[in-house]
Structure 1
């Protein structure tokens, strides 16, 4: 049965396709970053589990899920080239259901953010705006290989980290927390660049100027590695200056393991970028939690 026939014959979405639409596999990074923020704040997490759990659910299934639905709706023409079996181009989420899901989840995000107080609500407003600015016309920052991954990195790592710390302390996080969260968000630009490899053909045909398109796979992969590694070097240096030296040593060891994985990935970036996302990225986010405990020890 053709895609057009499926689309024409279905009025309501397939429930499993709706789950695919909001991509549960993408929820973990912002959930982890929110938890890092909560840990780094120095507040008593054990006495605030309700807030922590609500913040984690907001960062992952709700806000990140919303951003994925919005992205799939705005990318439905690109996905028809790259991944025609995805929920919207395949017709399993027919008509404008993808748009309605994204809009409904945007409203739900703001409602839950309101429950987390002024800092949580303000951060949620920024996250919702960022999600639509990344995907939707006329802004569509996704078209830029610099601005697009940069916005996603800051939204996936820096913003939820900042939010976790702010919500737990009911105030602005310490400057050290802001700096570390910002560094890890900048480094995530490289992770997002590697993620763009899977859409290389569709991006070329639809005018999305990702770094793999504009620089070529090899140069883009090398750039991504430098962008991921450099902020971690700064984190290690800052921790050595601030006092938690052994936490910095642990992050340096994790970085060396990432360098090994980078060398393997650079042998064939287009083929091995997905492998790196399952190995090097795990080491990267492990360093985030080590840094969070380092910041906690400074309170």
Structure 2
């Protein structure tokens, strides 16, 4: 199959533009923003437009922008791993991938401004993090530790914090910040599993993901440990805060995840996509339970 990385004057295909910003990746930050809004303990009332605008910003706009930026900066890696993607296949020709990412960066900042000072500050951080992850000379995705950590923070912790801050109109409570940080920490494991699909291209282009540097088996064990540890700490904190039933519900979800992890660890490379569709769903379900648990605390 030929791979097209040259510059062409023609326009990109509309379907390819949608594929570039990967709608399937929007769910985690949208869900986390919603969890943040729930955890704020303030009934939205007339604030629903801000909740919905924040969810659109977190998912289609900022996350979509980060995907476009990543695909542009990764176009040579994708030519090895996934040559059918929009840029290496030529369906997004020339520098259109870069122009789309830059235009969405401007759009992100404009919409973030409409969310007030907390929303705008979080948007600036998210935009900078997206480019720092993908673009030279920083390109934090080259590190199997810093890269997944930054993505986990921006997918789960940052939108959770932002949703709570926007709805509450100020700094979220200590309990909300702790939960956002713990679930962001656990998301490091989710992002490590996501790196399994790019093993060959990462090896060839110097991306030192954990599956590349440590091997799939060890990387999968680390990912599972991180995800489980984060949720165990959430359970402990909920017990300390006097929320035993919420803690029990998350413990049940964690037990189901551990059963799924046993399947994953039998063949990490083959089962990573399966786990991302099963175990991760249980993980994010616990996020909403935890969000309801801390409403009104602090």
Q: TM-score range by the shorter chain?
A: over 0.9
Distance 2:146 2:75 in 1: 21
Offset at residue 244 of structure 1 (A): 1.1
- Distance of aligned partners of 1:8 and 1:166 in 2 relative to their CA distance in 1, 3 Å threshold: closer
Matched with 2:87 is 88
Matched with 2:51 is 52
1:95 aligned counterpart, secondary structure: coil
Matched, 1:280 2:268: no
1:42 aligned counterpart, secondary structure: coil
Within 5 A, what are the aligned runs for 1:62-77?
62-77=61-76
Matched with 1:208 is 207
Matched with 1:128 is 127
Within 5 A, what are the aligned runs for 1:240-279?
240-279=239-278
Q: Please report the RMSD computed on the Cα atoms of aligned residues, expressed in angstroms.
A: 1.3
1:113 aligned counterpart, secondary structure: helix
Runs of 4+ in structure 1 off by over 2 angstroms are: 1-4, 6-10
Offset at residue 298 of structure 1 (A): 2.8
Matched with 1:14 is 13
Q: How many residues align?
A: 298
Distance 1:201 1:227 in 2: 24
Distance 2:225 2:234 in 1: 14
Q: Which stretch of structure 1 is more off in the superposition, 241-250 or 44-53?
A: 44-53
Matched with 2:151 is 152
Distance 2:80 2:45 in 1: 48
Q: Is the 8 A contact 2:264 2:271 kept in 1?
A: yes
Distance 2:128 2:169 in 1: 23
Q: Is the 8 A contact 2:145 2:210 kept in 1?
A: yes
Can you list the C-alpha shifts for 1:146-166, whole angstroms capped at 9, x where unaligned?
000000000000000000000
Distance 2:267 2:296 in 1: 41
Q: Unpaired runs of 5+ in structure 2?
A: none
Can you list the C-alpha shifts for 1:121-172, whole angstroms capped at 9, x where unaligned?
0000000000000000000000000000000000000000000000001100
Distance 2:69 2:29 in 1: 17
Can you list the C-alpha shifts for 1:30-70, whole angstroms capped at 9, x where unaligned?
00000000000001124311000000000000000000000
Q: Which stretch of structure 1 is more off in the superposition, 44-53 or 16-25?
A: 44-53
Can you list the C-alpha shifts for 1:72-109, whole angstroms capped at 9, x where unaligned?
00000000000001000000000000000000000000
Matched, 1:109 2:108: yes
Q: Is the 8 A contact 2:6 2:94 kept in 1?
A: yes
Q: Unpaired runs of 5+ in structure 1?
A: none
Matched with 1:39 is 38
Q: Is the 8 A contact 1:10 1:91 kept in 2?
A: no
Superposition TM-score, scaled by structure 2 size: 0.98
Distance 1:259 1:87 in 2: 36
- Distance of aligned partners of 1:28 and 1:121 in 2 relative to their CA distance in 1, 3 Å threshold: same
Matched with 2:170 is 171
Distance 2:198 2:2 in 1: 23
